[in-house]
Copies of this chain bind each other. A is one copy, B any other.
């Protein structure tokens, strides 16, 4: 039930959230009817929900010999599931905004107000782009390294300082400039 409520915050609707939670905590694959019954929800609703979960690649089908029904299971590890959710959200929440902002920034300002507006939008664009690129790179990393990085927490700052100290002063200056940009 809670995953249903949270579902709406996480980008899918109540039923889809409940369905996914159910499949995650159930070791045995479930049929569409079992899901509908467990959640007291219509068969049609389950059908649409399964379709959406499949489009997110969060579940997989499972055939049982001699049974014509389809059975469904959650797919992949928890990490993979989190990755899918992040990816989908980046697509929905950042990409459209980035391309819109790019368009506006290229327009020719007609007034001082528009110059100011473009500057602010440029800042937002740059930040969004940095975050978008970074998170997508993080997702490419292997989970172990990423785990190490996360456990390091803000301690990573010290590691970065250490790295800077190891670089020759001439190069160091160059990098500092780049960071400030």
User: Is A11 within 8 A of B9, CB to CB?
Assistant: yes
User: Is B9 within 8 A of A144, CB to CB?
Assistant: no
Residues of chain B contacted by A113 (CB below 8 angstroms): 26-27
Residues of chain B contacted by A149 (CB below 8 angstroms): 156-157, 160
Residues of chain B contacted by A148 (CB below 8 angstroms): 160, 179
Query: What's the minimum C-beta distance from A79 to chain B, rounded to whole angstroms?
Result: 7
A106 at the A/B interface (Cβ < 8 Å)? no
Given contacts A93-B6, A124-B78, A127-B78, contact A138 B154 (CB under 8 A): yes
Interface size of A by CB at 8 A reads: 53
Copies in the complex: 2
Complex partner residue of A163 from B124, B141, B162, CB under 8 angstroms: B162
User: Is A82 within 8 A of B150, CB to CB?
Assistant: no
Chain B: CB-nearest residue to A28? B113
What does the 1/0 interface line of A1-17 toward B look like (CB < 8 Å)? 01100100111000000
**Residues on A close to B: CB < 8 A?**
2-3, 6, 9-11, 24-27, 78-79, 82, 92-93, 96-97, 100, 113, 116-117, 120-121, 123-124, 127, 130-131, 133-134, 137-138, 140-141, 144-145, 147-154, 156-157, 159-160, 162-163, 178-180
With A2-B97, A133-B150 known, 10 other A-B pairs at CB within 8 A are: A3-B97, A9-B92, A24-B120, A25-B121, A26-B116, A141-B154, A144-B180, A149-B156, A151-B179, A159-B159
